[in-house]
Structure 1
Amino acid sequence: MNFEKNIETLFSMQDACVICPKKCKAKRNAGQKGLCKTADKIFIASANVHTGEEPPISGSRGSGTIFFSNCTLSCVFCQNYPISSLGNGNEFSLEELVDKMLLLQDKGVHNINFVTPTHYSAHVAKAVYLAKKKGLTIPILSNNSGYESVETLKLLEGLIDIYLPDIKYADNEIALKYSGVKDYVEVNRAALKEMQRQVGNLEFDENGIAKSGLLIRHMVMPENLENTRASLEFISLRLSPQTYVSLMAQYHPANKSYNFKELSRGLTKEEYDKAAEYLKLYGLENGWMQELEN
């Protein structure tokens, strides 16, 4: 696989940016910010050892989490909105990003976990390529919103070992209302199929730590159980019932949630229990559930 050519192509896609599905055509390489509020510089909010991911991701030594600033979506309920919406973070050079990855490896983390990396796909690809040349050997994980361009994903093939995407919605009206995009469902489903094609189902080493594959997250939201049901149905019927799913119960009102009556409260036990029933209904036995936070 010609990684150098793919990386060059990814950077050229920023000339009139088509990196994400919004295809806003911003001249990012010339310093113009796109709809993601990002131009050609790398901004990172944090780069630390994180122990709060799913068990095979955090393991016993933690995940090397690199949290990029800004985002391609505008989710009204985002719990990290100071980073995703307000752009909190510091500028990093590509060389500093590579060094940070190697430092995290030296600390013993199980993987490098890029959080909201979509708009930095070109930078991520080049950083991974250079870091591997310098001795990076642990898996690379893309922790993303699931709103991804298949064209971009194909150019990342071979550089990403584990995909950890969301499946947020099964209804475009809800996606537009809560995240500001009217085509999330089609885009997300095509992206999930491409991720599965690249890496397959989640695979583990002898210690139960993820080494490659697909793990899909779905956060259950109040008064949106049909959205959950249809999302899980898609995973089971259109991907595979062996797909690993993380059913998340951590929803709480944040950011602009209070502008929406249905989102202005936390999740109930009854709602989460019903979501868990849908897992069983569609035969999705692989994955993890959370304790409901009240």
Structure 2
Amino acid sequence: MTYPEYDSCELCPRRCHARRNEGKAGFCGATSTLRVARSALHFWEEPPISGEAGSGAIFFTGCPLRCVFCQNHEISQEGFGLEVSTARLAQMMIELQEQGALNINLVTPLHFAPHIREALSLARAAGLCLPIVCNTSGYETVESVRAMADLVDIWLTDWKYEDPKVAGSLSAVKDYPQVAAGALAEMLASLRRAGGRKVDDEGVMRHGIIVRHLVLPGHVSDSLRVLDHVWQICGNECDLSVMNQYTPNERCRKAGGNLARALSNVEYEMVLDHADDLGFENLWWQQGGTVSESFVPGFDATGVEGPEVSVGRP
């Protein structure tokens, strides 16, 4: 099946107009061929997402950003992943549900939005009943968020930068702050239409928004401004996750400067104190020892190959 959205792609804010149906890759690195790098239970998300049983994470190949510090660079920028059908993607969701996943966690998915909409329809018909998490960099168009709002229960979104110069230098997207603001406002509107934040008796989120911010060494002032803007848009209608797990990759270590080192405890505490001062009630933070590549799963195509969903087929 071909999708008209890939004829001249505008699915992400770069609006690169790649002719993906003709095999031309967009800025995200993807053609119209669906590619997945991993499908497995994931235990390192925020507690309302992973709980004790784990989140059913599906990692997609490609990304609209070019973050110099990316820990998932094998899949985000280097193209690792296997070609799969939409029906296979649907079956992966069913398999994760059978493994006890608390939700289906779609990681960097929206450059494949047409495939995902179809896969979710097939999976629901086959008995999928878990909440759907859209795990995104935050660099999304308002139109893309709105188009997926009827399918997404939980928005797990980054807000990386407030300074356009920093965004341009570290992720090659000077418009990141304004785009992230528009996307978050639309996520909030969709959450309100769904009745607001909902957490079950065991603390597992069923509907909601979690805004993640990774504090970068040497960039505390920008982090404080990020939190100000998130509070301005959402207040306590979203959860806030402030992360200290920045780990220098080889590229950053070679380049030197602040990004060649770990975040200091003093820097992290400054950002956490600001979150408290603003009034965030649903605040998640990380305790010592998180600077580690153990948060990055092995991208070895676990769970990708296998049967297709059989709904509606003879």
- Short-chain TM bin: over 0.9
**Residue of structure 1 in register with 2:223 after alignment:** 228
Greater displacement, 183-192 / 205-214: 205-214
Query: Match for 2:173: what amino acid?
Result: V
Q: CA deviation at 1:282?
A: 0.9
- Percent identical among aligned pairs is 38
**Taking structure 2 as the reference length, what is the TM-score of the superposition?**
0.88
Q: Distance between the aligned counterparts of 1:116 and 1:292, measured in 2?
A: 27
Q: Work out whether 1:13 is the aligned partner of 2:8.
A: no
The answer to whether structure 1 residue 208 and structure 2 residue 200 are counterparts is: no
Secondary structure at the residue paired with 1:164?
strand
- Report the Cα distance in structure 2 between the residues aligned to 1:68 and 1:255, rounded to whole angstroms: 23
Matches within 5 A, 1:241-260: 241-258=236-253, 259-260=255-256
Q: Which region of structure 1 is more displaced relative to structure 2, 122-131 or 182-191?
A: 122-131
Q: Distance in 2 between matches of 1:39 and 1:48?
A: 24
Q: Could you tell me how far apart the structure 2 residues matched to 1:52 and 1:238 are?
A: 27
Correspondence for 2:43 among 51, 57, 60: 51
CA contact (8 A) 2:208 2:238 kept: no
Moved more, 251-260 or 124-133: 251-260
For residues 57-77 of structure 1, give each alpha carbon's deviation from its aligned partner in whole angstroms, at most 9, with x where no partner exists: 111211000011111100000
Contact conserved, 1:17 with 1:23, CA < 8 A, in 2? yes
Question: Following TM superposition, by how much is the alpha carbon of 1:185 offset from its aligned partner in structure 2, in angstroms?
Answer: 0.6
8 Å Cα contact 2:6/2:19 also seen in 1: yes
> Is 1:271 aligned to residue 263 of structure 2?
no
Contact in 2 for aligned 1:57/1:210 (Cα 8 Å): yes
> 1:220 & 1:255 partners in 2: Cα distance?
19
TM-superposed CA distance for 1:260, in Å, is 4.9
CA-to-partner distance for each residue in 1:234-285, whole Å, 9 max, x for gaps?
A: 1112222342001101001115323251211000000011111110121112
Cα distance in 1 for residues equivalent to 2:197 and 2:83 = 33
The residue number in structure 1 matching 2:311 is: none
Partner of 1:4: none
- 2:168 is paired with a residue of what secondary structure? helix
Does the 8 Å contact 2:131/2:153 carry over to 1? yes
Find the aligned partners of 1:59 and 1:136 in 2 and give their Cα distance. Answer: 19
> 1:239 pairs with 216, 227, 234, which one?
234
Which structure would you say has the larger RCO, counting Cα contacts within 8 Å and 6 or more residues apart? 2
Q: Give unpaired runs (5+ residues) of structure 1.
A: 1-7
| Aligned-partner residue type, residue 19 of structure 1 | L
User: Contact 1:76–1:179 (CA<8 Å) still a contact in 2?
Assistant: yes
Amino acid at match of 1:244: D
Partner of 2:117: 125
State how far apart, in whole Å, the 1-side matches of 2:191 and 2:202 are.
Answer: 20
Q: How many residues get paired? A: 285
Per the TM alignment, residue 292 of structure 1 is displaced from its structure 2 partner at its CA by: 3.1
* RMSD, aligned CA: 1.3
8 A contact 2:197–2:237 mirrored in 1: no
- Mean CA deviation greater in 108-117 or 248-257: 248-257
In the other structure, the counterpart of 2:86 is 94
Would the alpha carbon gap of residues 29 and 257 (structure 1) be closer, same or farther in structure 2, given more than 3 Å must change?
Answer: same
Paired position in structure 2 for 1:261: 257
| CA distance, structure 2, for counterparts of residue 141 and residue 255 of structure 1 | 30
Amino acid in the other structure paired with 1:145: S
Structure 1 contact 146–188 (Cα < 8 Å) conserved: yes
- Cross-structure match for 2:126: 134
What residue in structure 2 maps to residue 34 of structure 1?
26
The structure-2 alpha-carbon separation of the partners of 1:184 and 1:130, relative to structure 1 and needing over 3 Å to count, comes to same
Deviation at 1:157, TM superposition (A): 1.6
Name the amino acid aligned to 1:192: L
Shift of 1:30: 2.0
Whether 1:176 and 2:168 are equivalent positions in the alignment is yes
What is the one-letter code of the residue matched to 1:278?
A: H
Residue in structure 2 matching 1:105, options 76, 97, 111: 97
Where does the alignment leave 5 or more consecutive residues of structure 2 unmatched? 292-314
Regions of 4+ moved over 6 Å = none
1:197 and 1:250 map into 2 onto residues whose CA distance is 30
Distance (whole Å) between structure 2 residues aligned to residue 202 and residue 289 of structure 1 = 19
- Tell me which residue corresponds to 2:287: 291
Whole-angstrom CA distance in 1 between matches of 2:25 and 2:281:
43
